[in-house]
Amino acid sequence: MHYTLVIYIGLLFVILLLVMLAQRLRISYPIVLVLGGLVLSFIPGLPAISINPELIFLIFLPPLLYEAAWYTSWKELWKWRRVVSSFAFLIVLLTSCVIAWVSSSIIPGFTLALGFLLGGIISPPDAVSATTVLKGLDVPKRLISIVEGESLLNDASSLIVFRFALATVITGSFTFQAAAASFFIVIIMGILTGLAIALVFYAIHRWLPTTPSIDTVLTFIAPYVMYITAEQFHFSGVLAVVCGGLFLSGKSHDMLSHRSRMQSVNVWAAVGFVLNGVIFMLIGLELPVIVEQLGDTSLSDAIKYSLIITLVVIVSRLLCTLGASLFTRVISNVITTADSNPGWRMPLLFGWAGMRGVVSLAAALSIPLYINGTQPFPQRNLILFITFVVILVTLVFQGLTLPLMVRWLKPHAEDSPLSELEQDTLIRKKLAKTALELLSERYSDEVDTNELLIQMKNGLESKQVFLEHFTSDPDVHQSISRYRNIFQEVLAAQRDLLKRMNRKAEFDEEIIRKHFSMLDMEEEKLENHLH
């Protein structure tokens, strides 16, 4: 036990080093982690690191899905609902059918049920893989919103396909009518289960005497309760977590205090980072183990099958995105669409951003070793190998070439008539105006006598005057840069003062720490100031 703990601590340290290397090389960190795990797996004497297949979904999926749902914009999701829902459901089913037909045609002994099982595993693109690349590039915000929305919902549809295909392989029977009815029951009841549990947690957060620490822990308990409850009744645990997370995220300002929100955000950022890091590292670490367990299938044949299916996955998605663009142009003559003419550049880039990752790995590893405890699961190791190759090729090849695609295609789209700077300035002006109106209407007498309120009013008036003339300044960006540099120098001097004061006996360290935290908050505001 002690040795195992040391191994996993060492693994986390390696993950941190590789992420820092990725930042230095300006490469998406999932790519570096996968390649790093692959290199580590060939080190002699390093013990094999694996996770119980029955626990892979339970450990990783609920918190990762919940975090993704929490930070998903309801407004953007609704705006692009048609393209998101079509790719999350229809395109996943279509891709699964294509993969099932191709794999059963080219692989000896590979049944159609096994093909659908493989299709359910590798059909959903991974949000983390794509967005970590896209967010560092000059792409329209709508592209990131669509990719995030698609990957949030397609996990549910792909895992439902996976579940039905797995049941078909195990039982040897499949009835379309029963499967179609069960498909909708699984979806609808999964959504309702997630919302029902979310309401319970909303009530706990809203009306019980919680603290920031309790609120943070509750946010970690919620996704597991949603997932386990839904799966216990054979509903979609993924949709339960996603819908429950979306609901609670929309109510976060009603049920959580500002301290609870700040603490939860920081804790979740660290936990989500670790979980994603471990899962991407496992992709590389597990590949040599899968190669050793291929059994009767030769490595050359396995690689051939894997590359063909990978090509099918990539081409199918590109055809679907371009076809969806053409369909949108036609259907926009009948109904109102968010973008009546998507063109070909954005859809092509959207198609190229379909890297596979966490969910595909989790699904593949969750395939049982045996059927009914005795009979080995057919073609399990070949399915695992194909899945790993698809993830490796799409993640590394498409991930590394995605920046080149962006520079080549140069996609441009107006997400808003106002620039980000104009939107930010307008919001700040309206916030200052609202505050001044409230002070003058309700507290006009106190504003003239309370020194602190006088300072607040003067500060708001100064900010309003500054913002009125801000956007007309031709050197606005240079002014922002200079302001930040000077402010950071001021904060550094204040921190040095606090360090010196902390060495003196008359100052309580708790008070010093509080002021350090206040300076951290000031720096955080600085980072977001007119950014």
CATH label of the domain that carries residue 322:
1.20.1530.20
Q: Which tens digits make up the pLDDT trace of 330-378?
A: 777 666 666 666 778 888 888 888 888 878 877 888 888 778 767 888 8
Residue 262 forms part of a structural domain: no
- The reply to whether 199 and 86 lie within a common domain is yes
Q: Do 463 and 338 have their domain in common?
A: no
pTM: 0.82
Least confident interval from 166-170, 214-218, 317-321, 382-386: 166-170
Going by pLDDT thresholds of 50, 70 and 90, the confidence category of residue 462 is confident
* DSSP code of residue 475: T
Do 69 and 108 sit in the same domain of this protein? yes
Could you give the angle at the alpha carbon of 211 between the alpha carbons of 205 and 212, nearest 5°?
A: 90
pLDDT digits (tens, 9 = 90+) for 225-279: 999 999 899 888 888 998 999 999 888 888 888 788 888 888 998 888 888 888 8
Are 250 and 360 members of one domain? yes
Is pLDDT at 306 greater than 80 in this prediction? yes
Q: What is the pLDDT of residue 471?
A: 59
pLDDT of residue 313: 93
Give residue-wise pLDDT tens across range 148-193.
Answer: 888 878 877 888 888 888 888 887 766 666 666 777 888 889 999 9
Domain hosting 470: range is 420-527
pLDDT at residue 425 greater than cutoff 80: no
Q: What angle do CA 524, 212, 529 make, to 5 degrees?
A: 15
Residues 6+ apart with CB under 8 A from 234: 186
Choosing from 409, 432, 467, the residue where a domain stops is: 409
Q: For 65-101, what is each residue's pLDDT tens digit? A: 898 888 877 777 888 788 888 888 888 889 999 999 9
> Is 425 found in the same domain as 403?
no
pLDDT band, very low/low/confident/very high, at 103 (cuts 50, 70, 90)? very high
In the listed set 346, 381, 409, which residue is the last one of a domain according to the structure? 409
* Local confidence band at 199 (pLDDT 50, 70, 90 cut-offs): very high
Residues 305 and 338 placed together within one structural domain of the fold? yes
Confidence check: pLDDT of 474 > 70: no
The string of pLDDT tens digits covering residues 308-327 is 999 999 999 999 888 888 87
Shared domain check, 238 and 354: yes
Task: Count the alpha carbons within 13 Å of 414 in the hemisphere toward its beta carbon.
Answer: 6
Structural domain includes residue 319: yes
| Per-residue model confidence as pLDDT tens digits over 24-60 | 888 888 888 888 888 888 877 776 666 665 666 788 8
377 located within any domain: yes
Q: Any residues with CB less than 8 A from the CB of 347 and at least 6 apart, and which?
A: 321, 322, 324, 325
* 20 in a structural domain: no
Distance CA 496, CA 77 (A): 45
Tell me the C-alpha distance between 31 and 13, whole Å: 17
Q: What is the pLDDT of residue 476?
A: 64
